[in-house]
Structure formats: structure tokens, C-alpha cells
Structure 1
Amino acid sequence: MDYLSGYVSNEDFYETDDDYSDDKANANYTILDEAEIRRRQEEQISHISLLLSLSNDQASLLLYHYNWKVDKLQDDWFADEHAVRDKVGLLINPINDKNIDNENEEDDTCKICYDELEPANCRSVSCGHKFCVVCWKSYISVAINDTGAGVLSLKCPAIKCQAAVTRDLIVELVSKEEKEKFDEYFVRSFVEGRKNTTKWCPAPGCDKAVEFVLTDGDSHRYDVTCVCSRAFCWNCGEETHRPVDCELVAKWTLKNSSEAENTKWILAYAKPCPMCKRPIEKTVGCNHMTCSAPCRFEFCWLCLGSWYDHMGCNRFRVEDRDIDEKMRKHAQLYIRRYSHYYERWASNHKSRQKAMDDLQRVEEHDLSKLSGRVNTPTTQLEFVVQGWKEIIECRRVLKWTYAYGYYLEEDKKEDKDFKIKKELFEFLQGQAETQLERLHSCAEIELSRFLKDVDGDDDDRTMYNPDDMDFSKYRAKLVDLTKVTGTHFEELLKALENGLPEVDLDRKIGRNTSKKRKDSASSSQGPQGCDHLLYGSWQCDQCTLH
């Protein structure tokens, strides 16, 4: 589908992992597995080691400290090598503690456990401080298990010593389990140190990373699909949310979970007790209200006067409560508007989740069953899977168009073209939604006719009969609906992401967008009964009028 960030086409968007990798050749993001991350790490380590005449372990320490930014490391190193060494902890000469405060102290004891040191059982780093192997093992083990990735920047255990502990010493002394942990931290540092260009896939259990390069003119195209099938926005980490931007997604998500919405509901559908001011909701028809304990004040729901001396409130009086009533009505309108967009947003979200479950069932069970019923290899039934995946993606897009619509109306005071833009938006959204419902019905209901069993308690279940419906016609219908639905949503995305530019075009050339939309919507059907109307022309592959 072209509207999926332009990365892959409709025909091969949901293929195997091998096909997926081929499709990414010209994309602006690359999926990295662990082997590729290690290969890139070793490539950079070898480059720095050769260029700076350092060991691989020293080069890896420098790259980790510089977040694997080779150019930055090279610039700083050649500008002031000693400053970089001091900053990272790669000392050229060992520290001579005897010149400071240890003139009378022998160097043949471990400064942690005070056991005698033998050449075979002691180790040191660039500073020259020697400790026994047992103390080194304990020190590094605690760092791996307690500080996690902090072990990658571990310093010498001597007091105030900033000499770095290199990878070779750690790998030599730790256990196999701890070595695996350290190795994992080291691999992950390559991704987490380059957050501006590389991030982990957020799917639970997925160990793939995504390297992303934003191209000019594609500032709104952050959509990424990992090989695990998780689609997400590389910029914010949420699910892909075109046509809305990350800021609007954050606002909408916060709004849906905000307690402020509860407050507005109380204002719209409750009234304060005249005595204690607690909000009260009317649940019965009688206007005689009694506040809960300990207040127990009795009053009239309409005029909020005391019930004991209440003589009727049928006469109109201009009082301060009229202002409260206006505020309440305004809040009710606000709640209805929010509910309109939220309910449709949530409905499409649930429909998408159901479609994902249906797709899994189709791939695992229905395709093989359908293959036997219609005498067609499963490889030739891929169009069914493509239809379902088109539904899933279109449901996602449609869901976020309702968030777009909510904020489009909220900004109407600042936009003089609001009315025209709203009509254009609702027209495009309605056309796309109608087409999606046709596709969903075709994939869900019409396909079930070929899958019904002859057995069962339900008398309505019957074996598929070729006379009831020609499968070749069903195939042509589903393929056509899949393509046309994709076209509708592609045009919808283009219009919304470009700020509905046709509104400006209509104003410049003196045409009324509203009239054009109404005329288009009420115009005759396309050639041969086609009703795939968009922008005043027919967009399906069977039509030629444009």
C-alpha cells in the first residue's frame, strides 16, 4: 500500500522476512538483528584500533564512551589525545602511589583483602593498582549484577582512581552467565548510544533494532514495520498514527486518560447541593432531591431551592443560576462532541484488534480449509490475506482521522477556512470509511460462505456449493475492493498530511468546495455501475474516466 510511508507496495508489503529485507533496500530505515549489530561494532572497533594504534579492547572502550560516534572520537583524539585518555580512563603511565602517601607500604599485598599477591593471582589495569583475582572477580560480578550496563564504564576499585576496566579483564574473570550478561550490555550499548538514529523495536520479545534516516520532505513519515510485524512510529515509539503527528497523538492520549474529562462530565450532568456543594446526579424522575449523609439537605432539582418551603418553580426568574445553566449546556455540548469522536476512535481500534485476530485465524486454519473447498492451492489464496491486512492498516488510519477531526474542530476559531475544510475532511473520511466497510464485509461475511461446515447443530450451516457463488467472482471482487480501498485511504492521507490544500485551490479559482463535494456525492454511478467515486472521478482499475 503506497500510503504506508512509501516504503513498500501493496503487493509485497506483507511477504516473508526475506522479501521484507529486499523491500528495504531503498527505504529510509533498516532493520538490524543482533548479528548485524555485532558486525557493525566489530567494524568500528577494528577501524579505530588500526587508526589510533590501540588494542581492540581499548578501542571498544573509547567508542562506548563516545556513544559509537566515530567522527567525534577521531576529532577529539587528534585534537588532544591526553585529554581524551584522561576523560575515558586509558592512562599511558601507571600511577605511582608511593610518591603520594604510601612510601612505607609494600606492594605485595592486595589493597582489598590484604592477602599476599603472587604474579599469577593478581591483575591490574592501566593505572597499575594490583588486586588479587578473587577480589577482582567479586568486584566485577557485583557490578554486572547490580549496576547492569554500568559495568561498561567500570573504574578501578582503588580509592579516587579513574582508570577504566577494559573488556578483556572482565571477560577473563567472570563466569559464563555473567559473561553473557556483559556481552548483552555491550551489544545493546551500540543501539542505546545512538538514539538519534537507532532504536529498539518496542514489541515485547523482539530483539531487532531500527536504524532510521529522515529524508528531506518526509518529516511526517516515521512509520516503521519490523520483521516481527510490529508497526510503530520511530519518532515517538507509539503505534503508527498517520495522518496525525506525534504531538497530537500525545494530546489525544492524555485527553482520553485525563481526570479533567470526568470533571467536565460532572459539570454537564450533575448539580451542586445548595448546602454542601457536592455534585449530585439525578437518577430518578422526581425532582425532590436529598443529599447524602451527613448533609441530608432536601431541595428541588430544577430551582435548587429548599424543598420544605418549595411552592413551585414554574415562573421564570433571571438569577445567577442562569449563568450556571449556560455553562452546563456548554459542557454538555463539549461532552457530546468529544464522545462522538472518541466512540468512533475506540470502535475502529476494537475493529482493528478483531481484524488482527481474524487474520491469524485465516492464516492458521481458514486458508487450508478454503483450499480444499475450492480446489485451489493456498499459494493462490494470498489475496485473502492481503485483503485482511489492508483492513487492519485502514482501520488504524481511520481511527486516527477521528482524532484529527476532533482537533480540527477545536481549532476552528483560528482557521477562517474551517467550515470548508471540515466539509472536505468529512467527505474524504466518509468515502474512505464506506469503502472500508465494504471490504471488511466482503472479507468477513462473504468469505464465511465458503467455509461453512455440513456438520453442526446450526441448520443454517451448509457445505459450500459452487452453484451458490462463483469463487472466481469472489476473488475478483475482493482484489478489486482491496485495491480501491487502498486508493481511497492513500488520497485521504495525502490530503490530511498536506493540510487539505484543495481548499486553497478552490478559493483561488473561485469554486465552492462544499458545492463540488455535494455535487460529486450525488452524481451518477461510474461506468458499468462502479461507485468508487473520489475527487469527482472514478479511481478503480476498471474505470477510465478521470
Structure 2
Amino acid sequence: MSGEDDSDMYYSDDDCGYDDYYNMGDDCDGDQLDYRTSDPEYFSYECLRVEEVERLLNESIEALSDALQITPSIAKVLLHTNEWAASPNLLSSNKCNDWTQYLFGCRKPSHLEFIGNKLCCPVCLVPSLAEKFSHLACGHLFCNDCWAMHFEVQITQGISTGISCMAQDCGLLAPEDFVLSLLVRPQLREKYQEFAFRDYVKSHPQLRFCPGPNCHIVLRSKEPKAKRATCELCKTSFCFRCGMEYHAPTDCATIKKWLTKCADDSETANYISAHTKDCPRCHICIEKNGGCNHMQCYNCKHDFCWMCLGDWKSHGSEYYECSRYKENPNIVNESVHAQAREALKKYLHYYERWENHSKSLKLEEQTLEKIKTKINAKVMTASGTWIDWQYLMDAAALLAKCRYTLQYTYPYAYYMEPGPRKELFEYQQAQLEAEIENLSWKIERAETTDRGDLENQIDIAEKRRTTLLKDFLEV
């Protein structure tokens, strides 16, 4: 990786890649401009290593230091507390003027007691020579031993850039060079610098640490959005804005609320929503072992929907009713207990579908492995090459991408206010769900599915997904 020219260092989702299953089958050879305008999930970012991030931060520090004629250490404090705003903006901001006035024009020397020719430290009360004392720009004097102990306690607690003066009601932050000048132990100095670097990255609006385990890559985007980013080193994918799993079309605040609610209520939902259901015709117990919601009873061959148990033959025209929740218009006039039951019923409707698509994704991973095994067998028996059978892998990849998006439409729908926009969203959601189930059904029966029919279904499903995201993905 080169760090020469930031403008040429960008990676799209395709460049860094999604996880293997989600990204399989993506085409990286298309026209980039068309891709940016046609794909609502396109996101431009770069993956940086620690030394590249340090160089990036130092450029901002040096520019501000030269402009204000201050030390780089104080420039770091100013930039960190102003979220690394560009130097011209920082220089013209009232906040910066207040800070510089505070740093250089508000010195209030401490009134310390003298014992002979020595000063008495107000913390440890031990008299020492004046050269054993230090102070920040605020002028509050303390002995170097107390400063060092103060820093050690703060760093042990994980605090670095937030270390302030020891004087009561003084919030002046200690610059990095002042802290390092009084820290003796190398381990503490190293830990302090590590914590400070972490704080600088977290406060920078364009930078995000990769959330992957033990990964030190930092991702940078000049337009930080709630889009999918993938670390080029450990392949961890996440939402750039909030750091959680990618959750389009649901926004960051909504998915956080939803996951909190699921954590609180999931046991109730799991208790009510069993893993097995009875066939609506012959009532034999059926366990779901595939991702597709189009079920066929092995006993009576009845085709039905796993979610609503409706007849699949008439399900095409009723899919909208299956995926949407029917609000009770008279619920406001009901008792508190009735409203609580209705609220639980609504939550379970969305939770069951959210959880079902999550399970379907895992089950379809097994289908993918079966497809790979079949392709290997065909290649070994000279029944075509990998390229001849690539369309099956493309279908599985697109199915995963569509189902992932569909899963995250349910938190979005749960918190939407009733109205025309929600009706449009639920209509598009139902259309996407119908095409996904058709695609899943055909993939699971790939041996008997016509290639042209499957490729046509891939195109239809992706168009449904893209249309929904274009209309409802918040950027």
C-alpha cells in the first residue's frame, strides 16, 4: 500500500471486498462512474496502517502549529477537542479563540506556602525546591512526583488525552509533551501514546478503527456515511458511521434501538416462535432445514408459506399482506393490557421475520457448500468447467446479498410511522421478499432449474433490492 497521494488511495466495496459469501460474484470490471451512480451502496474509502494514520494526523498538527505559532503538543489538544477541523475553519472559530485565550491569557499562579526556601506541594504537602515543581498554562503548581502519580493513575484507567490539571475546578488539558516529560516508566509512556493515538482516531470524523479482533487497520473516508466498509486485512465488514454490522436500509440510531429491544425481548420471542410448525393441511410437524420460505410438506406435498402458513399457489398476490403488519385502528381505545398485548404482537411479527431471514442466511451457506460440491463433481467428470457453472455461484451470492438487505428492512418497518411512505416501503419489501423466495427455491433445485430462468431471476431480485435502497437508504 502506498501513502503518497490520498486522492488515488480509495477502495470501493468491491475493491476491499465484502465477506466471501456476501461478495461472491461481484463484477469489478464495470465502468466505475456508472457503478457509483447506479449502486446506492457504493462507498469510497481507504484502508490505512498505523504509520499512515500518524503521518496524516501529523500533517494537520504541523499546519496548525505553524499557523498559530504554538507547539505541536498544544496543536494536538486543539485539533482533538475540535474534532480535527481544517486549520482555516479552526482559526476562525470562536471555540479556538476561547482555547488560545485560555491557554495563554488566563494564567493564575498558585499561592503556595514557603517553608524556608522550599515550596510546599498542595497535594502531598512535602516541601521541595522550586525546580521540582511544574505547571500547565493555567499556572497551578504541583510537585513533579504528584504530577507523575496523577498521570499514572489516569493512564491506568485508560485516560490519556482527557488528563486535566489537578487543581480543583480547573479543566485545562495536559499537552502530550508535558505528560511525557514527567513519565519515567517506559511501559507507561508507551501505554499513554497508544491510548492517545486511539483517542485521536476516535475523535477524527473521517477515521474509523476496524472492529475486527486484533486488527490495527484504520479506515478513512472523506465523506463518512452509514455505508458498508470492509477491512482489506481481516475482511471484517461494518457500518462506517456507527461501527456495528452493516444495516441498510435501517439507520444507525434505529438499529441500535432495535438490537437493544431484541436483547431485552428475544427470549420471549424465541419462546413464542418455535423452530417447527405444523403443516396447515395434514398437521404433521415440519422442521425448516433450508433458507427458502416456500415449504412443501413431505407427507401430503402441500405447498405453503413458512411465515404465514398460507397456500403458496395464491401467495403471489398476497405476499404484501404476509410481510406487512396489520395495525389495529381501534387499539387506542382499548385497555392498557390490550395495548400491551398488541405491542407484543407487533414486535413478534417483525422479530420473527428478522430472525427467520437471519437463520435462512445460515442455512443457505449450507446450500452454497452443496453447490460447490456438485460443481466440483461435474468438473471432475468433464461435465463442463468452473466457468460454465459460475452462474450458480453468482445466484448464491446475490441471494445472500438480497436476503441480508431484506433482514434489515424489518427494524426499519417496525419503527416507521403509518402512512403512504410506509405503505410504499412495505410494498417494495414484499416484492423483494417474493423474488428472493423464488430465487431461493430455484437455487435449492438447481439441478432442474433452467439456467436462463435462474439468471433472469437473479436480475429481477437485484433490481428489487436496488430500487428499495435507492428509495429508502438514508445517506
* TM-score relative to the length of structure 1: 0.52
In structure 1, what is the equivalent of residue 247 of structure 2?
Answer: 241
Cα 1:260–1:425 change in 2 (3 A) is closer
In structure 1, what is the equivalent of residue 151 of structure 2?
Answer: 140
Q: Structure 1 residue 59: deviation in Å?
A: 1.8
1:45 pairs, out of 41, 56, 61, with 61
- 1:222 matched to 2:191? The reply is no
Distance 1:251 1:156 in 2: 38
In structure 2, what is the equivalent of residue 347 of structure 1?
Answer: 356
Is the radius of gyration larger for structure 1 or structure 2?
A: 1
Say which SS state the counterpart of residue 232 (structure 1) adopts.
strand
Cα 1:377–1:93 change in 2 (3 A) is farther
Q: Structure 1 residue 42: deviation in Å?
A: 0.9
2:459 pairs, out of 467, 487, 493, with 487
Say which SS state the counterpart of residue 46 (structure 1) adopts.
helix
Say which SS state the counterpart of residue 238 (structure 2) adopts.
strand
Distance 1:492 1:193 in 2: 38
Contact 1:91 1:163 in 2 (8 A): no
Q: Structure 1 residue 349: deviation in Å?
A: 0.2
In structure 2, what is the equivalent of residue 85 of structure 1?
Answer: 100
Aligned amino acid, residue 394 of structure 1: C
Q: Structure 1 residue 46: deviation in Å?
A: 1.1
In structure 2, what is the equivalent of residue 307 of structure 1?
Answer: none
Aligned amino acid, residue 464 of structure 2: L
Cα 1:484–1:117 change in 2 (3 A) is farther
Q: Structure 1 residue 134: deviation in Å?
A: 3.6
CA RMSD of aligned residues (A): 5.6
Which whole-Å deviations, capped at 9, do the CAs of 1:5-63 have from their partners, x for residues lacking one? Answer: x94459976689xx99xx99994334444333212211111111222222222222222
Contact 1:401 1:429 in 2 (8 A): no
Superposed counterparts of 1:74-113, under 5 Å: 74-76=91-93, 80=97, 83-87=98-102, 90-91=103-104, 96-97=109-110, 100=111, 102=113, 106-107=117-118, 112=124
In structure 2, what is the equivalent of residue 73 of structure 1?
Answer: 90
In structure 2, what is the equivalent of residue 190 of structure 1?
Answer: 200
Cα 1:334–1:494 change in 2 (3 A) is same
Which structure 2 segments of 5+ residues have no match?
1-10, 37-41, 273-332
Superposed counterparts of 1:125-524, under 5 Å: 125-126=136-137, 132-146=143-157, 148-149=158-159, 151-157=160-166, 164-172=173-181, 173-195=183-205, 197-214=206-223, 222-227=227-232, 228-246=234-252, 249=255, 253=259, 256=262, 335=345, 342-355=351-364, 373=380, 389-401=397-409, 411=418, 414-415=419-420, 426-439=430-443, 442=446, 481=454, 486-497=458-469
Cα 1:13–1:212 change in 2 (3 A) is same
Q: Structure 1 residue 141: deviation in Å?
A: 0.8
Cα 1:114–1:28 change in 2 (3 A) is same
Contact 2:164 2:170 in 1 (8 A): yes
Deviates more, 1:63-72 or 1:201-210: 201-210
Contact 1:113 1:135 in 2 (8 A): no
In structure 2, what is the equivalent of residue 312 of structure 1?
Answer: none
Which whole-Å deviations, capped at 9, do the CAs of 1:445-464 have from their partners, x for residues lacking one? Answer: x7xxxxxxxxxxxxxxxxxx
Which structure 1 segments of 5+ residues have no match?
1-5, 267-322, 447-468, 501-546
Contact 1:241 1:400 in 2 (8 A): yes
Say which SS state the counterpart of residue 152 (structure 1) adopts.
coil
Say which SS state the counterpart of residue 408 (structure 2) adopts.
helix
Cα 1:373–1:210 change in 2 (3 A) is same
Contact 2:121 2:142 in 1 (8 A): yes
Cα 1:381–1:209 change in 2 (3 A) is farther
Superposed counterparts of 1:25-36, under 5 Å: 27-36=43-52
Contact 2:83 2:203 in 1 (8 A): yes
Say which SS state the counterpart of residue 54 (structure 1) adopts.
coil
Percent identity (aligned): 23
Q: Structure 1 residue 145: deviation in Å?
A: 0.8
